[in-house]
Each structure stands twice: as C-alpha cells, then as structure tokens.
C-alpha cells in the first residue's frame, strides 16, 4: 500500500523520520545518554585489531560511511570492499577478527558468500540486516536489525538511512569499548543522534525546491557528484540512485580527486552536485567548487546556510539542509539525495519502483 504517495519509493523516503526514530529507540538508552545494543555481542571490540566490512551497492556505501565513524570514533582500522570482490580475493583474515556484513534483504549472493568465507577463516561475523529471518541473519554469529520495515521500491532508501543509524550506534559502542569515547563525549553524540528524525522531517520539506531542480537535472546527459569525508560515499550513493532510476549517467568522486581526471568532463552541460555540510573539510570542498565554477560547471550545493553564505560562488541552486552536528550529516543528507533522483526520474516518466534490468534481491552472482 502506497498510502497517498504515487510510488513506494516516495512513501519510503517519507517514512524515514519514523523508521530511523524506531531504529534509534532500539539501540539507544535515551535517558542514560548512551548506546545500549539490544543483545550482547559474542566478541569484544577492545580486542580487535581490525574490522572488515563487506556489502553490495547501497549497503556497501553505508559501510563506506561507517569506515569514517569506526576510524574516528573508535580508532578501529577498517578494510572494506564490495562483496563480489571480497569473496574471491583470498584475503588473509585473522582468526577471532570481525567481519561485518550489511544487507537489506539478507539474501544477496555475493554478500552471503563473503560471510561464509569469513567464517571459514575463523572470523566472528556480525550482520546488519532488514530481514531478520534471512539467510545472512541466520548464518552470522550475531545480527543487528534495521527496523525500516519492508522496503518495496527497488532503489534502497529507508533501509540505507537505518543502516547508517545502526552503524553509527555500533561505532559509538565500539568507541566506548575501546576506551576512546568517555561518557560525556558519548552523551554528546547521543544528543546529536536523537535530533536526527526531526532533522530528516525538516529535510523532507525541501521537496518543492528539489522538484524544480530535478527538471534541470533531467536535461543532463552526465551528472557529477562530489563530496569529502563522509560526504564522499554519499556522493557515490547519490550517483547510484540517479543512474539506477533515471538512467542518466552519473559518477561520484571524492572532491579532491577532481583534478586527477574528472575535471576534464566539466562544461556548462554537466551539473555538479556538491554534498558539503559545514564540517571540518568544507573549505577544502569550496576550493574544488571554485575549480568547477572556473570551467563553467553548474554547481548544485547540498549544504547548509553557513556554507552557502561562505562560498561566494555562483550556483545553479542550493538545497539548504538544517544545521546539525556533522557526525550525523550522512543520515539527514540521504533525504535530498534520494529526492533528487526520485523527482528527476518521475519527471522523465520512468518507472521508479521497477527500474529496468534491476531486481530487489540479487540472489545470483
Ligand atoms: C540500490 C540498491 C542495491 C542494493 C544491493 C544490495 O538502490 O538497492 O544497490 O543496495 O543490491 O542489496 P542488499 O542490501 O539486499 O544486500
């Protein structure tokens, strides 16, 4: 049932404040100001020397965001790869190390094969899944659910933001276990986390602006997405979402990589979507925006009021997100990224819930 929405994808985008809130309530002791995992994990983060993450598609991008969180909040080294590579790489994995797999369906063939490989190496396996009865959930040594509810649209939206939510909670838990986060810092992070459903609701109110912007984007043959830090995987996710439902060619890049090649593509016909909350790397991203502007590129900034006031460049549009603690930015910024892809595809008359050539659950390799 799509409720009063035209597509499941729209419904699922709009459900995010609610399902992220539900997921948070499952992982956070609000009164205590700390993460409280629903069950004890059968390994100790303090004893790990490395975390290996594997997943496919959008779930892989959630893992890429989480790498920044595990490294900065828990000082835990992370390696991460797409599951279709992990399963054949013959990577040496330490016995008693930890492999984390992320999957909405819990049935993705490559992700399952990577999980089985990790087990064969004597690793602990932890899965973050949206379907708790799935094969991946059953075969992992521990499972943390995302409480997104059934996701019908082929393009993943609410499962992604719920994955990010669980991953940030897990990174905070790991940071405490490893003696990196003291109670005051953990409480501050929880304070930021519990504002997220409200911030997502606010982000959803920018839909009218994004619809206007989607008309412009729909005329493009190619679109570039740029970001730094956790906004880099968000750029990858933005490009994936746009290409899978609108069939416009889109690429995501780390903003600092622009001058190493992709800048050659930039001219007036290429919209450049810059994802940049006012965080510690904002100024560095502005210098990349200047490079784009100098070549006639049309910039769309997905950022905040402070950043918009500071950059001083001509832009095609600015999508203004609410002020927030940059640590939670990816969860909130998922909303405009999804809406831009959605409205572009709808404007072009595409079937957003059933894009061509794609299946909801990829159980073959
Ligand atoms: C993109 C999308 C896919 C899935 C990928 C993994 O919108 O939906 O990229 O994220 O096929 O699927 P799961 O998470 O079920 O393992």
Task: Give the tokens for residue 81.
Answer: 């790869």
Q: What number of other Cβ atoms are within 10 A of residue 85's Cβ?
A: 12
Ligand 1 centre distance from Cα of residue 355 (Å)? 13
CA angle 6, 221, 229 (to 5 degrees): 80
Q: Quick check: CB of 105 below 6 Å from ligand 1?
A: yes
Give mean pLDDT, residues 327-355.
96
Q: Where in the sequence numbering do the catalytic residues fall?
A: 360
Of 266, 213, 220, 275, which is closest to residue 243 (Cα–Cα)?
Answer: 220
Of 143, 149, 160, which is closest to residue 64 (Cα–Cα)?
Answer: 160
Give mean pLDDT, residues 349-360.
88
Give mean pLDDT, residues 198-216.
97
Q: Quick check: CB of 84 below 6 Å from ligand 1?
A: no
Of 117, 124, 354, 97, which is closest to residue 244 (Cα–Cα)?
Answer: 354
**pLDDT recorded at residue 362:** 84
- β strands within 73-216, DSSP E: 78-82, 98-103, 124-129, 142-145
Asked whether residue 29 carries a pLDDT value surpassing 90, the answer given is yes
Q: What is the pLDDT of residues 82-100, one digit of tens each?
A: 999 999 999 999 999 999 9
Residues in contact with 10: Cβ distance below 8 Å, sequence separation at least 6, in sequence order: 2, 342
Hey, whose CA ends up nearest to atom 16 of ligand 1?
A: 103
Hey, whose CA ends up nearest to atom 11 of ligand 1?
A: 57
Asked whether residue 363 carries a pLDDT value surpassing 90, the answer given is no
Ligand 1 centre distance from Cα of residue 45 (Å)? 27
Q: Quick check: CB of 54 below 6 Å from ligand 1?
A: no
Hey, whose CA ends up nearest to atom 10 of ligand 1?
A: 58
Q: pLDDT-derived band of residue 36, with 50, 70 and 90 as boundaries?
A: very high
Q: Quick check: CB of 111 below 6 Å from ligand 1?
A: yes
Among left, alpha and beta (phi > 0; psi -120 to 50; other), residue 261 is left
Q: Quick check: CB of 339 below 6 Å from ligand 1?
A: no
**pLDDT recorded at residue 144:** 98
**pLDDT recorded at residue 224:** 97
Give mean pLDDT, residues 138-167.
97
pTM of the model: 0.98
Ligand 1 centre distance from Cα of residue 155 (Å)? 7
Q: pLDDT-derived band of residue 359, with 50, 70 and 90 as boundaries?
A: confident
Q: Quick check: CB of 362 below 6 Å from ligand 1?
A: yes
Give mean pLDDT, residues 108-134.
98
Q: What atom in ligand 1 is closest to the CA of residue 105?
A: 15
Lowest-confidence region among 65-79, 332-346, 351-365:
351-365
Q: pLDDT-derived band of residue 358, with 50, 70 and 90 as boundaries?
A: confident
Ligand 1 centre distance from Cα of residue 294 (Å)? 37
Asked whether residue 41 carries a pLDDT value surpassing 90, the answer given is yes
Give the strand pairing for 28-29 and 34-35.
antiparallel
Residues in contact with 365: Cβ distance below 8 Å, sequence separation at least 6, in sequence order: 84, 109, 110, 113
Q: Quick check: CB of 56 below 6 Å from ligand 1?
A: yes
Ligand 1 centre distance from Cα of residue 105 (Å)? 8
Asked whether residue 133 carries a pLDDT value surpassing 90, the answer given is yes
Percent of the chain with pLDDT over 90: 96
Largest CA distance in the chain: 55
Q: Quick check: CB of 157 below 6 Å from ligand 1?
A: no
Ligand 1 centre distance from Cα of residue 266 (Å)? 30
**pLDDT recorded at residue 356:** 85
**pLDDT recorded at residue 364:** 80
Cα 37 → chain centroid: 21
Hey, whose CA ends up nearest to atom 3 of ligand 1?
A: 57
Q: What is the DSSP string of 226-287?
A: EE-TTHHHHHHHHHHHHHHHH--EEEEEEGGGGGGTGGGG-STT-EEEEEE-SSTTHHHHHH
Secondary structure (3-state) at 81: strand
CB-based burial of residue 3 (10 Å sphere; 0-12 exposed, 13-18 middle, 19+ buried)?
Answer: exposed
Asked whether residue 357 carries a pLDDT value surpassing 90, the answer given is no
CA angle 126, 127, 128 (to 5 degrees): 130
65, 102 contact by CB (below 8 A): no
Q: What is the pLDDT of residues 258-306, one digit of tens each?
A: 999 999 999 999 999 999 999 999 999 999 999 999 999 999 999 999 9
Q: Quick check: CB of 155 below 6 Å from ligand 1?
A: yes
CA angle 40, 42, 46 (to 5 degrees): 90
- β strands within 93-201, DSSP E: 98-103, 124-129, 142-145
Residues in contact with 148: Cβ distance below 8 Å, sequence separation at least 6, in sequence order: 15, 19, 23, 104, 130, 158, 159, 161, 162
Q: pLDDT-derived band of residue 73, with 50, 70 and 90 as boundaries?
A: very high
Hey, whose CA ends up nearest to atom 5 of ligand 1?
A: 57
User: Mean pLDDT of all residues in the chain?
Assistant: 96
Q: What atom in ligand 1 is closest to the CA of residue 155?
A: 7
CA angle 334, 336, 339 (to 5 degrees): 105
Ligand 1 centre distance from Cα of residue 136 (Å)? 14
Cα 347 → chain centroid: 24
Give mean pLDDT, residues 181-190.
98
């Amino acid at each position: 049932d799509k409720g009063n929405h035209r597509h499941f994808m729209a419904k699922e985008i709009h459900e995010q404040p609610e399902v992220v809130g539900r997921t948070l309530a499952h992982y956070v002791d609000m009164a205590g100001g700390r993460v409280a995992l629903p069950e004890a994990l059968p390994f100790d983060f303090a004893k790990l020397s490395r975390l290996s993450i594997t997943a496919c598609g959008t779930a892989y991008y959630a893992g890429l965001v989480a790498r920044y969180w595990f490294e900065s909040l828990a000082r835990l080294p992370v390696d991460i790869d797409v599951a279709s590579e992990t399963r054949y790489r013959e990577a040496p994995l330490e016995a008693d190390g930890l492999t984390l797999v992320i999957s909405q369906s819990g049935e993705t063939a490559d992700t399952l094969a990577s999980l089985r490989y990790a087990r064969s190496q004597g690793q602990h396996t932890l899965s973050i899944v949206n379907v708790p009865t799935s094969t991946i959930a059953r075969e992992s040594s521990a499972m943390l659910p995302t409480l997104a509810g059934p996701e019908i649209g082929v393009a993943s939206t609410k499962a992604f933001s719920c994955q990010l939510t669980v991953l940030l909670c897990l990174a905070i838990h790991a940071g405490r276990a490893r003696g990196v986060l003291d109670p005051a810092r953990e409480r501050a992070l929880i304070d930021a986390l519990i504002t997220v459903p409200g911030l997502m609701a606010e982000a959803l109110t920018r839909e009218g602006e994004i619809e206007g912007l989607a008309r412009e984007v729909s005329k493009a043959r190619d679109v570039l997405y740029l970001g730094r830090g956790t906004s880099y995987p968000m750029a990858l996710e933005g490009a994936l979402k746009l290409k899978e439902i609108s069939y416009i060619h889109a690429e995501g890049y780390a903003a600092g990589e622009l001058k190493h090649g992709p800048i050659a593509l930039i001219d007036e016909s290429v919209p450049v979507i810059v994802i940049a909350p006012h965080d510690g790397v904002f100024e560095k991203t502005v210098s990349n925006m200047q490079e784009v502007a100098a070549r006639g590129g049309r910039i769309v900034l997905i950022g905040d009021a402070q950043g918009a006031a500071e950059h001083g460049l001509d832009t095609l549009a600015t999508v203004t997100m609410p002020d927030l603690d940059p640590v939670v930015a990816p969860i909130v910024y998922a909303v405009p990224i999804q809406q831009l892809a959605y409205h572009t595809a709808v404007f072009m008359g595409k079937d957003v819930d059933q894009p061509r050539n794609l299946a909801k659950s990829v159980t073959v390799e």
